[in-house]
Amino acid sequence: MEKVEEQLADLNIVTRSSGTTEPTYLLGIDTSKTKQAEKESLVAVLCSNGSIRIYDKERLSILREFRGYPGLNGVRFANSGDGVYSSCTDGTVKCWDARLAGEKPVQLFKGYPSNIFISFDISCNDHVICAGTEKVDDDALLVFWDARISSQDLSTSKDPLGAYSETHSDDVTQVRFHPSNPNMVVSGSTDGLVNVFDISIDNEDDALVTTCNCVSSVSCIGWSGRDYKQIYCMTHGEGFCWWDLNHLDTDEPITRLNIPDVREVINVKEGILDYLVGGLYHEKMDKLFVVGGTNTGIIHLLSCASSGLSHVTSLHGGHAATVRSFCWNVQDDSLLTGGEDAQLLLWKPGAIDKTSTKKDSMKIASSVYQRVRVHSNDSYKKRKKL
């Protein structure tokens, strides 16, 4: 276990993204899953200006950009192929070809009338897409599509397979498929519920495997543990919950950890914690980490155990403002991070920082605050004193 924590402590910046004159927050990051030798690894970044940028991973140079789509939420590469997906508040999930320069999506997954999509994911075999909606009237839905492209049906637009409508009572902020079982999906909502489904079962009531309650609006969810039998959750109040589904049919409690506000209990060496960004499960070492940070751009890595969270290391000298997104690559143990300073950074263990010095945060027009989670500029400890 010490090896992986030493590895994280040894992360240094390898590359900074090439500069852009347009200030924008980097809200989501994903990397291409294909491992063909003749193809460079690609990075897709969701920007707050309604665009998705495609970067070359090692140089972090922008290869192309899909622009003009306000209201995008989340970004995901297909698990095979070059498709890049994002859900949109216009009631669609869009798919672009990451290697084509055209800005028009190659596939469009249409929702039901009045759907406003704010979260989504695609199953590990690329067969099913699931998107979560904002609550409209009394409905907060999980909508499903068949994502497979059939030689008989070459149309660029698809209608839903169906929807779940009974299990959430407010905005569905998060959707995550199981990393290896295409039938398992977990959803999180501002209603505080985290629901696990087996979509191979016909009706919604029977498909619901279990409901976990974090008693606060859900900002992030994910899978962890051996065979990915655990789920974790972060809340908009900077809380953290961790459940073990192995205990569903036993007398053991499924809750491993429940911390209403991590900022109140964590002891960060030489600093503070202002917010949480997400979870990082290190599969080789079977270890879950939580990524958090400060409003000045310092990244904190916290280790998870049933006894609590503990500070492992902090990454300095990278970002100059709040970090919004990250992506861990288990193949080369690298970390990509994106922030409100419009920077994309690549970190690797033992690397020597040959990049330019830390850039100043870019002042951003107020329009980008629409539909993005805004952290307070005051640090958590400063706010506590008020």
Q: Please, which residues have CB within 8 angstroms of residue 107's CB and are 6 or more apart in sequence?
A: 83, 94, 95, 149, 156, 157, 158
User: Does residue 67 belong to any structural domain of this protein?
Assistant: yes
Which of 1-15, 28-42, 136-150, 202-216 has the least mean pLDDT?
28-42
Considering the domain boundaries, does residue 367 fall inside one?
A: no
Enter the DSSP assignment of 379.
Answer: -
pTM: 0.91
In a domain? residue 317: no
Q: What is the pLDDT of residue 154?
A: 61
Q: Is residue 53 part of a domain?
A: yes
Strand order of the sheet with strand 323-329? 11-16, 344-349, 334-339, 323-329
pLDDT value, residue 23: 84
Quote the number of domains for the chain: 1
Domain membership flag for residue 189: yes
Res 21 pLDDT > 90 = no
C-alpha pair distances (Å), 372 with each of 15, 49, 168: 26, 11, 21
Are the CB atoms for 339 and 326 separated by under 8 Å? no
Domain containing residue 245: 20-276
Domain membership of residue 330 (yes or no) is no
Q: Is the pLDDT of residue 363 over 50?
A: no
261 pLDDT band (50/70/90 cuts)?
Answer: very high
Distance CA 225, CA 131 (A): 25
Q: Is residue 344 part of a domain?
A: no
Q: What is the pLDDT of residue 240?
A: 98
Whether residue 132 is predicted with pLDDT greater than 90 in this model: the reply is yes
CATH code of the domain in which 260 resides:
2.130.10.10
Would you say residue 288 lies in a domain? no
